[in-house]
């Protein structure tokens, strides 16, 4: 993963770990990398890596086992899936319709394209 | 790790002055460095970066003001100074000494010296240990300075443009070793650098030095969100930025990119979208250049034209 300049790194890193949880790369109750492992791997400041993990703790996606490290919370993949579904409109559908309008296409045209894609 | 007698409480600098004859390099500088943080020290050539680090570590005497390391004055104070490590970018090594012989005496200066780490770094960087230190190439000198700095495990480690002459592979090794060792042995690292964007991810805070004074000390993310770039047709960008402070401008034909101080609001985004203006984040390097501080950047841009 390369970081873009668009957003603070800790947000991008938190999203990347969440995406890995959602994809099942880190199953429920499995350990996620430590602050130092993340910092060394991505060549980032350990405090930045720590901020990313804390964000996931606050969101209930990972939790801390004292002295052992960070683990994926039970039900985290399902919670992430629910969250992503509710964001499908803002992140994908709204920009798609904006672009379609710019190209002179109506919503019905877009629906047609999607239906055609599926058949 | 040897437990140190004094609690690590950081570095506090107040009203620091340093002159070389009639040339004033540091003019009443105030700076606080917390323990266990990685700081990037940036600023144009001649801003006083090396002088500042050298003065903190008592390699040169200051002309006025106070420096406290863990609450104590480092001047002629061996107990404090062995908690600091600073290898000059152009360290004048004695002609008689080989790399190996210098490494051998290091534990006498640094009580927390890690010999195994030193050996691993020497072999990873391929520093020729039999060679006289003075005869090392630019890149080998930098690598040798990194070996000493990291293996010293000094609570306050100062790195003066550590990447000079290092090839990309060696720079990667440096970043990796720094972060790995920092993970197990947290300490204060102050690194002066011109490669701002390359090193930005490593820093927790950036300290900008300009003409002997600190003009910015901020969390890297906070600094980067303190301005943004608006790009579009010149007139529309100017209208968009009417009541804002434009830090710098670059134009390409009818298109203008303006670096604007402040954060992007939802209102800004709507206004920009309606006026064919794109809003982009500012890189740390561009921000520092835009603040009118980083003259090196503009010099490089001119060269590349």
Q: Domain check: are B77 and B63 in the same one?
A: yes
What local confidence, expressed as pLDDT, does residue A7 receive? 81
Q: Which helix (H) or strand (E) holds B300?
A: helix B295-304
Q: Domain check: are B87 and B176 in the same one?
A: yes
Contacts of B270 (CB under 8 A, 6+ apart): none
Paired with B11 in beta bridges are B33, B69
Sign for the CA dihedral angle at B254, B257, B262, B265 comes to positive
Contacts of B234 (CB under 8 A, 6+ apart): B251, B254, B255, B256
Chain B positions in Cβ-Cβ contact with residue A101 (cut-off 8 Å): none
Chain B positions in Cβ-Cβ contact with residue A47 (cut-off 8 Å): 37, 204
- Closest-CA distance of chain B to residue A45, Å: 4
pTM here?
A: 0.82
B6 belongs to a structural domain: no
Domain A9-74 of CATH type 3.30.420.40: no
3-state SS string over B94-155?
A: CCCCEHHHHHHHHHHHCCCCCHHHHHHHHHHHCCCCCCEHHHCCHHHHHHHHHHHHHHHCCC
Question: Residue B45: how many CB atoms within 10 A of its CB?
Answer: 10
Spatial distance between the Cα atoms of B11 and B63, rounded to a whole number of angstroms: 18
Q: Domain check: are B166 and B47 in the same one?
A: yes
Is B224's Cβ below 8 Å from some Cβ in A?
yes
Q: How far is CA B258 from the centre of its chain?
A: 27
* Domain boundaries, position B148: 11-222
Chain B positions in Cβ-Cβ contact with residue A48 (cut-off 8 Å): 201, 204, 221
B4 belongs to a structural domain: no
CB pairs under 8 A between A and B: 51
Burial of residue B211, with CB atoms counted within 10 A of its CB: 0-12 exposed, 13-18 middle, 19 or more buried: middle
Spatial distance between the Cα atoms of B111 and B153, rounded to a whole number of angstroms: 9
Q: Is the ipTM of this complex over 0.90?
A: no
Q: What letter does residue B194 receive in the DSSP assignment?
A: S
Spatial distance between the Cα atoms of B238 and B230, rounded to a whole number of angstroms: 10
Tokens of A27: 């199953």
**Does the distance separating the beta carbons of B183 and A46 come in below 8 Å?**
yes
- Closest-CA distance of chain B to residue A110, Å: 22
**Does the distance separating the beta carbons of A39 and B179 come in below 8 Å?**
yes
Q: Which residues in chain A come in under a pLDDT of 70?
A: 1-2, 5, 119
Angle at B137 between CA B131 and CA B139, to 5 degrees: 120
The B residues from 159 to 198 touching A (CB cutoff 8 Å) are 172, 175-176, 179-180, 182-184, 186
Q: Examine the fold and report which residue of B189, B222, B255 is the final residue of a domain before the chain moves on.
A: B222
Q: Domain check: are B182 and B260 in the same one?
A: no
What local confidence, expressed as pLDDT, does residue A80 receive? 95
B3 belongs to a structural domain: no
Q: Domain check: are B157 and B213 in the same one?
A: yes
What local confidence, expressed as pLDDT, does residue B300 receive? 39
**Does the distance separating the beta carbons of B184 and A40 come in below 8 Å?**
no
Consecutive sets of 10 residues in chain B, 305 residues long: mean pLDDT of each? 63 95 92 96 90 94 94 92 92 90 95 96 96 94 96 96 93 94 94 90 92 89 89 94 90 92 90 91 85 46 38
């Amino acid at each position: 993963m390369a970081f873009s300049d668009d957003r603070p790194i800790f947000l991008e890193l938190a999203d990347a770990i969440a995406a890995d949880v959602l994809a099942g790369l880190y199953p429920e109750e499995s350990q996620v990398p430590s602050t130092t492992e993340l910092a060394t791997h991505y060549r980032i400041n350990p405090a930045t890596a720590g901020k990313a993990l804390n964000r996931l703790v606050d969101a209930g996606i990972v939790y801390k086992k004292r002295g052992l490290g960070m683990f994926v919370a039970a039900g985290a993949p399902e919670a992430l899936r629910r969250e992503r579904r509710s964001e499908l409109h803002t992140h994908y559908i709204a920009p798609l319709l904006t672009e379609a309008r710019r190209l002179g296409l109506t919503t019905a045209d877009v629906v047609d394209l999607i239906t055609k894609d599926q058949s | 790790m040897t437990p140190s007698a004094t609690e690590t409480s950081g570095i506090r600098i107040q009203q620091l002055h340093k002159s070389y004859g009639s040339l004033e390099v540091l003019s009443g500088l105030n700076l606080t460095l917390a323990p266990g943080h990685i700081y990037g020290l940036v600023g144009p050539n001649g801003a006083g970066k090396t002088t500042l680090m050298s003065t903190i570590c008592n390699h040169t005497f200051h002309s006025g003001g106070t420096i406290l390391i863990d609450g104590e004055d480092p001047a002629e104070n061996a107990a404090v100074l062995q908690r600091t490590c600073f290898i000059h970018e152009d360290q004048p090594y004695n002609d008689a000494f080989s790399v190996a012989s210098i490494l051998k005496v290091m534990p006498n200066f640094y009580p927390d010296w890690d010999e195994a780490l030193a050996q691993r770094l020497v072999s990873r960087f391929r520093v020729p240990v039999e060679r006289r230190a003075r005869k090392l190439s630019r890149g080998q000198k930098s690598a040798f300075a990194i070996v000493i700095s990291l293996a010293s495990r000094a609570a306050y480690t100062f790195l003066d443009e550590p990447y000079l002459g290092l090839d990309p592979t060696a720079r990667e090794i440096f970043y990796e070793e720094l972060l790995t060792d920092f993970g197990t042995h947290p300490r204060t690292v102050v690194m002066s650098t011109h490669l701002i964007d390359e090193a930005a991810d490593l820093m927790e805070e950036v300290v900008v030095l300009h003409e002997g004074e600190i003009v910015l000390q901020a969390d890297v993310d906070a600094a980067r969100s303190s301005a943004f770039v608006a790009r579009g047709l010149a007139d529309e960008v100017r209208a968009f930025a009417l009541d804002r402070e434009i830090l710098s401008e670059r134009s390409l034909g009818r298109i203008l990119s303006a670096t604007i101080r402040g954060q992007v609001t939802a209102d800004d985004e709507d206004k920009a979208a309606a006026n064919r203006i794109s809003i982009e984040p500012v890189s740390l390097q561009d921000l520092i250049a835009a603040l009118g501080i980083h003259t090196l950047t503009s010099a490089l841009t001119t060269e590349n034209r």
